Amino acid sequence: MIKHNDIPSETINRLRQIAESGLSDGFSIFDRERYGQVLDLVTEMAEAPVGYDASLVLPSTVPQTPKTGVRGAAFKDGKILLVQNAFEGLWTIPGGYADVGDTPAQIAAREFFEESGYEVRVTKLIGVYNRSSHDHAPSPNEYHMFFFLCEILGGGWQPNHETSAAGFYGPDELPPLDLMTVTPYQIERCFAHYHQPDLPTEFD
SS (H, E, C) 74-99: EEECCEEEEEEECCCCCEECCEEECC
pLDDT, residue 57, reads 47
Give backbone dihedrals phi and psi of 37, rounded to 5 degrees, phi first: -65, -40
- Per DSSP, the three-state class of 129 is strand
> What's this model's pTM, rounded to 2 decimal places?
0.73
What is the identity of the amino acid at 87?
Answer: F
Nearest alpha-carbon partner for 69 in 129, 16, 113: 129
How far is 162 from 114, CA to CA, in rounded Å? 8
pLDDT, residue 141, reads 78
- Per DSSP, the three-state class of 36 is helix
Q: Are 80 and 190 spatial neighbours (Cβ–Cβ below 8 Å)?
A: yes
pLDDT, residue 190, reads 98
pLDDT, residue 167, reads 97
What is the identity of the amino acid at 66?
Answer: P
β-pair partners for 154: 119
- Residues 17-40 pLDDT 10s: 676 666 666 555 666 677 677 777
**Alpha carbons within 13 A on the beta-carbon side of 30:** 0
pLDDT in tens, the chain (204 residues): 444 556 666 666 667 767 666 666 655 566 667 767 777 776 676 665 445 455 544 455 556 688 899 999 999 999 999 999 998 899 999 999 888 789 999 999 999 999 999 999 999 999 999 988 999 988 877 889 999 999 999 999 988 889 999 999 999 999 999 999 999 999 999 999 999 999 999 999
- Per DSSP, the three-state class of 156 is coil
Does the CA dihedral 132-24-89-193 come out positive or negative? positive
* 27, burial (CB in 10 Å: exposed 0-12, middle 13-18, buried 19+): exposed
- Per DSSP, the three-state class of 174 is coil
Spell out the residues 6+ positions from residue 104 whose beta carbon is closer than 8 angstroms to its own. Answer: 68, 70, 98, 146, 148
